[in-house]
Amino acid sequence: MDIGFIGLGHMGLPMLGNLLATGHTVRAFDTSSGAIAQAVERGALPSRSVAELAASADVVITMLPTPSVVRGVICGPDGVLAHARQGALVIDCSTSDPHTAAEIEMIGAASGKTVVDAPVSGGVPGAKAATLTFMVGGSDLGFESARPILSVMGKNIVHCGPAGSGQAAKLCNNLLLGVSTIAVSESMCLGVSLGLAPDVLAQIINTSSGRCWVSEVYNPYPGVVADAPASNGFSGGFACDLMIKDLSLALDSAHNSRQPLPMTALSKQFFQVLSHQGGGSKDISAVVGLFKK
Ligand code: NAD
């Protein structure tokens, strides 16, 4: 299968690597030429534009930062839908929002292309290990067409419902990730200030009722999990500014239904302080710095 991959960042590059490993032809595009060069090193074919990539691919996968970038790349005049073949499948793995995803699916259907939203959970470790969870929104046909490709990059492929449902599930998950990153930071810093060794405290939490994915796999306290971003200068993971985007999207999506999200709103403020202090591109776990002495 001829696959086009757009957005070769922290997540996109390792996901593309897993597609290449199973023998697919993968064409790569990114606005960063350095990112394209890294994809070519792994065996991808470089594309000079979104249009060139879309014209020759059976399937186009996007892994982009924000809903407005996703909309431009997929629906713009030089975008994927304008240049893809009839019957092509477009899989948007970016974290976007339910409304944008549903709109893009409708525009795609009107021009003879199938679009699904398929945001992911599992972070960079999951992207490298091909163990991502994909939350898929779209038609039954779209889901069944996307499933074999997503299975190469992940292990849980879940059909959440019609277009936009994948993004809805993703926003619910990520507000928990944001809130629990703050909560684990608070807890770890209290423990250390009371004289506990961070690794001992983490071991207790991870066998007690406070255990969660952040405490166990992504602990924000440096030195607790050797391969977590917190133990590697807060680099290489999920950028603080992307978390602010996700929490903002969750808050926006709750607006019409007046769904209260007080913990989400408060957590967002901590990430905004970190970003304001110059930490926007650091991993989310750098928020622990706001609680450390
Ligand atoms: P990133 O910033 O590392 O990568 C985004 C890539 O998109 C960059 O290489 C950038 O150059 C490229 N790009 C931006 N605008 C473009 C355009 N117009 N055309 C082509 N390429 C363009 O981000 P990431 O961490 O890989 O995250 C990508 C998406 O996945 C985001 O929506 C994020 O919220 C989501 N996500 C990230 C993680 C994580 O742990 N990093 C986990 C789950 C979901």
Q: Is the CB of 251 under 6 A from ligand 1?
A: no
Q: Tokens 């059909």 appear where?
A: 159
Amino acid at 254: A
Q: Is the CB of 222 under 6 A from ligand 1?
A: no
Output the CA 24–ligand 1 centroid distance in Å: 22
| 268 in active site | no
Q: Are 249 and 259 in contact (CB under 8 A)?
A: no
* Residues 259-281, mean pLDDT to the nearest whole number: 98
DSSP state of 266: H
Q: Is the CB of 238 under 6 A from ligand 1?
A: yes
pLDDT tens column, 69-88: 999 999 999 999 999 999 99
pLDDT tens column, 89-138: 999 999 999 999 999 999 999 999 999 999 999 999 899 999 999 999 99
**Which residues make Cβ contacts (< 8 Å) with residue 81, sequence separation at least 6?**
54, 74, 75, 90, 107, 108, 111, 113, 115
Instruction: Give me the pLDDT at residue 69, please.
Output: 98
Task: Specify the fold of 168-290.
Answer: N-(1-d-carboxylethyl)-l-norvaline Dehydrogenase; domain 2 (1.10.1040)
Phi (first) and psi of residue 62, to 5 degrees: -120, 140
* Residues 136-144, mean pLDDT to the nearest whole number: 98
Q: How many whole angstroms separate alpha carbon 263 and alpha carbon 62?
A: 30
Q: Is the pLDDT of residue 256 over 90?
A: no
Q: Are 12 and 63 in contact (CB under 8 A)?
A: yes
Phi (first) and psi of residue 125, to 5 degrees: -60, -40
Write the class of the CATH domain 2-162: alpha beta
Output the CA 135–ligand 1 centroid distance in Å: 17
The overall pTM is greater than 0.85 = yes
Q: Where are the domains of the chain?
A: 2-162, 168-290
**Range in 23-27, 67-71, 254-258 the model is least confident about:** 254-258
